[in-house]
């Protein structure tokens, strides 16, 4: 995706270098571990988190060889969290391929995820900076707590927007913040720049997750294709912002509740019920309310970019915002 970015031309080349680094890492293994790492780490993906890291690290001290292991650690940590998410959600596919636990078993998937978690710490420990270890430790803690929060609130329809935002701040936004902060730390940026990068990562991460949840209920009237199966969150019983907003509509809330709990004895909501819920959500006006919330957080992220020193940083972070905005527009 980054080949279309006009203001940060260095990014595609450096992300290509990251891809080579990850391929070399995977090639060190054989058997099941090599196959599972190849099917996850090399399965594609936007690489948006390492991109944020490289952009935030861009200043006169920029040294891509020095920075690439940290970028790899960020992507490896993200992949580990996805493997664990897939186990919990019992997902069949990830980026169009069968999930590890679906090919092998949950124990294998869990061990692969655990290995990737520990390897991300190993890579970052090589920088001998306690601030970095503190940041990744805090992020890892939030990722796990966020997952637990999602599990305990599944199928609980009457939860507030604040509860939802707290969950995604832990589960998604935390890794965006880490990506930006590590870029600032490893480039020797000022404390004020690093804190503004943290804020940017927070706002962008929230917008990113809300958009992901919006895609989950998109009827795809325009023919656009998305990177995730539609309705997956609904099927898993995850209560996301589109559903929270739809339940505010007094005309539809009882109907949505009745449909949502129609197969309450089953772990997963079936395709027919999920489709009915999505249809009801799209009748309530909730979708446009969700878009406006994404715009709200994207605008907050854009304002913060103006406080960060460095023209390439400013323009690069702004282009990331533009990329997410274009994704939001596809849901119309």
Pick from 269, 93, 68: which is nearest to 182 by CA? Answer: 68
Q: Does residue 1 lie in a domain region?
A: no
pLDDT number for residue 266: 66
Q: How far apart are CA 54 and CA 40, in angstroms?
A: 22
Q: Does residue 172 lie in a domain region?
A: yes
Q: Is 329 exposed, middle or buried (0-12, 13-18, 19+ CB in 10 A)?
A: exposed
Please give the residue that has the higher pLDDT: either 243 or 90. 243
With beta carbons less than 8 A apart as the criterion, state whether 199 and 181 touch: no
Among the residue ranges 13-22, 98-107, 201-210, 255-264, the one predicted with the least confidence is 255-264
With beta carbons less than 8 A apart as the criterion, state whether 46 and 1 touch: yes
Q: Does residue 298 lie in a domain region?
A: yes
pLDDT (tens digit, 9 = 90+) per residue, 13-64? 999 999 999 999 999 999 999 999 999 999 888 899 999 999 999 999 999 9
Q: Does residue 2 lie in a domain region?
A: no
Matching residue, tokens 């019992």: 90
pLDDT (tens digit, 9 = 90+) per residue, 64-81? 999 999 999 999 999 999
Task: Write out the two tokens for 194.
Answer: 């690093």
Q: Does residue 168 lie in a domain region?
A: yes
pLDDT number for residue 226: 59
Q: Give the rounded distance of the alpha carbon of 115 from its chain centre.
A: 20
For residue 84, the enclosing domain spans 8-329
With beta carbons less than 8 A apart as the criterion, state whether 22 and 73 touch: no
Q: Is the pLDDT of residue 3 over 70?
A: no
| This prediction's pTM | 0.95
Q: Is the pLDDT of residue 223 over 50?
A: no
Q: Is the pLDDT of residue 327 over 60?
A: yes
The kind and range of the H/E element at 98 are strand 97-98
With beta carbons less than 8 A apart as the criterion, state whether 256 and 243 touch: yes
Provide the phi-psi class of 223: left if phi over 0, else alpha when psi is between -120 and 50, else beta.
left
Q: Does residue 3 lie in a domain region?
A: no
Average pLDDT over residues 252-269: 83
Please give the residue that has the higher pLDDT: either 174 or 267. 174
With beta carbons less than 8 A apart as the criterion, state whether 159 and 135 touch: no
Average pLDDT over residues 98-121: 95
pLDDT number for residue 128: 98
182 Cβ neighbours under 8 A, 6+ residues apart:
53, 56, 57, 70, 74, 124, 132, 135, 136
Reduce the DSSP state of residue 93 to 3 states and report it.
Answer: strand
pLDDT (tens digit, 9 = 90+) per residue, 174-184? 999 999 999 99
pLDDT number for residue 274: 92
Give the number of other CB atoms < 10 A from CB of residue 32: 14
Q: Does residue 182 lie in a domain region?
A: yes
Mean model confidence pLDDT for the chain: 93
The domain that holds 173 is classified in CATH as 1.10.600.10
pLDDT number for residue 95: 77
Q: How far apart are CA 252 and CA 240, in angstroms?
A: 16
Q: How many domains does the chain have?
A: 1
């Amino acid at each position: 995706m980054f080949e279309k970015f006009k203001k940060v031309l260095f990014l595609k080349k450096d992300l290509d270098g990251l891809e080579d680094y990850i391929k070399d890492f995977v090639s060190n293994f054989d058997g099941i571990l090599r196959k599972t790492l190849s099917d996850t780490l090399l399965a594609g993906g936007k690489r948006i988190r390492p991109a944020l890291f490289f952009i935030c690290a861009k200043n006169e001290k920029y040294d891509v060889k020095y920075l690439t292991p940290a970028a790899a650690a960020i992507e490896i940590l993200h992949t580990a969290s996805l493997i664990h998410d897939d186990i919990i959600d019992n997902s069949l596919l990830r980026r169009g391929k069968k999930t590890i636990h679906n090919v092998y078993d949950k124990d294998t998937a869990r061990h692969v995820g655990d290995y990737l978690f520990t390897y991300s710490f190993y890579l970052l420990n090589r920088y001998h900076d306690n601030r970095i270890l503190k940041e990744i430790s805090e992020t890892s803690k939030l990722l796990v707590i966020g997952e637990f929060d999602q599990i305990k609130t599944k199928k609980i329809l009457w939860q507030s927007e604040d509860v939802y935002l707290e969950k995604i701040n832990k589960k998604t936004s935390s890794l965006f913040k880490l990506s930006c902060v590590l870029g600032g730390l490893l480039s020797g940026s000022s404390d004020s720049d690093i804190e503004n990068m943290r804020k940017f990562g927070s706002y962008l991460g929230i917008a990113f997750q809300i958009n992901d949840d919006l895609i989950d209920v998109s009827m795809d009237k325009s023919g656009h294709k998305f990177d995730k199966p539609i309705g997956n969150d609904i099927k898993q019983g995850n209560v996301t912002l589109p559903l929270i907003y739809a339940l505010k509509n007094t005309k539809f809330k009882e109907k949505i509740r009745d449909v949502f709990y129609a197969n309450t004895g089953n772990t997963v909501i079936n395709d027919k019920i999920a489709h009915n819920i999505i249809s009801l959500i799209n009748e309530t006006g909730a979708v446009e309310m969700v878009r406006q919330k994404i715009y709200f957080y994207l605008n907050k992220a854009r304002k913060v970019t103006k406080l960060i020193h460095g023209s390439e940083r400013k323009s690069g972070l702004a282009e990331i915002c533009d990329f997410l905005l274009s994704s939001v527009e596809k849901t119309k």
